C-alpha cells in the first residue's frame, strides 16, 4: 500500500516512510544476526572447553598417576617456549620476548655465580 503524503511545501514524503520501514526491518535482521553470532561464538567456546576436558579424562585414563583436577590444567593456557602462559593475556611475540629476556638474565646469573665460584 503506497500512500502519498504531500505537505504544503509540495514535497512527496511517502518515500521517507518506506525508508523508515526498510530501516526498521534491516535493523531487526541485523540485531537477530548479531544475537545468532553471539550464540554461535558461545557454542564454539563450549565445544573447546568440552574437548579440553575430554583430553584431561583421556590423560587420567592413560596416566592414572596424574591429578587432572589440579588447577594448573587450564583451558585458557598453552605452552609457549617451554612455559605455561595464558592465551588471552599475552601474544606469542610478547611471550617470546619475555622468555628471551629471562634466558639472558639466567645466563647473567649463571656467569656471576661461576665467577664467584672461582
If phi > 0 it is left, if psi is from -120 to 50 it is alpha, else beta; for residue 91 that is: beta
User: How far, in Å, CA of 24 to CA of 40, rounded?
Assistant: 24
Residue 1: the pLDDT is 45
Say which residues have a Cβ less than 8 Å from residue 92's Cβ, sequence separation at least 6. Answer: 80
25-68 residue pLDDT tens: 889 999 999 999 999 999 999 999 999 989 988 988 998 888 88
Q: What is the span of the domain harbouring residue 9?
A: 1-74
Of 57, 74, 91, at which residue does a domain stop?
74
- Whether residue 99 is found in the same domain as residue 85: yes
Q: Are residues 61 and 6 in the same domain?
A: yes
User: Are 30 and 82 found together in one domain?
Assistant: no
- pLDDT over threshold 80, residue 117: no
Instruction: Band the pLDDT of 78: cuts 50, 70, 90.
Output: confident
The distance from CA 76 to its chain's CA centroid, rounded to whole angstroms, is 10
Task: Please count the structural domains in the chain.
Answer: 2
**Can you give the pTM of this predicted structure?**
0.48
In terms of domains, do 61 and 16 share one?
yes
Is the same domain home to 32 and 50?
yes
Which whole-number Å values give the CA distances from 108 to 64, 97, 102, 115, 118, in the listed order? 40, 17, 10, 10, 16
Same domain, 11 and 56: yes
Predicted pLDDT at 51: 92
Amino acid at each position: 500500500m503506497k500512500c502519498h503524503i504531500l505537505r504544503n511545501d509540495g514535497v512527496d514524503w511517502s518515500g521517507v516512510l518506506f525508508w523508515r520501514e526498510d530501516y526498521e526491518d534491516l535493523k531487526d535482521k541485523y540485531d537477530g544476526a548479531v544475537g545468532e553470532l553471539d550464540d554461535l561464538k558461545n557454542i564454539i567456546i563450549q565445544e573447546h572447553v568440552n574437548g579440553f576436558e575430554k583430553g584431561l579424562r583421556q590423560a587420567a585414563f592413560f596416566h592414572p598417576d596424574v591429578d587432572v583436577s589440579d588447577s594448573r590444567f587450564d583451558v585458557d593456557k598453552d605452552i609457549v617456549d617451554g612455559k605455561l602462559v595464558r592465551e588471552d593475556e599475552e601474544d606469542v611475540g610478547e611471550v617470546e620476548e619475555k622468555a628471551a629476556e629471562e634466558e639472558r638474565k639466567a645466563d647473567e646469573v649463571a656467569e656471576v655465580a661461576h665467577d664467584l665460584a672461582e
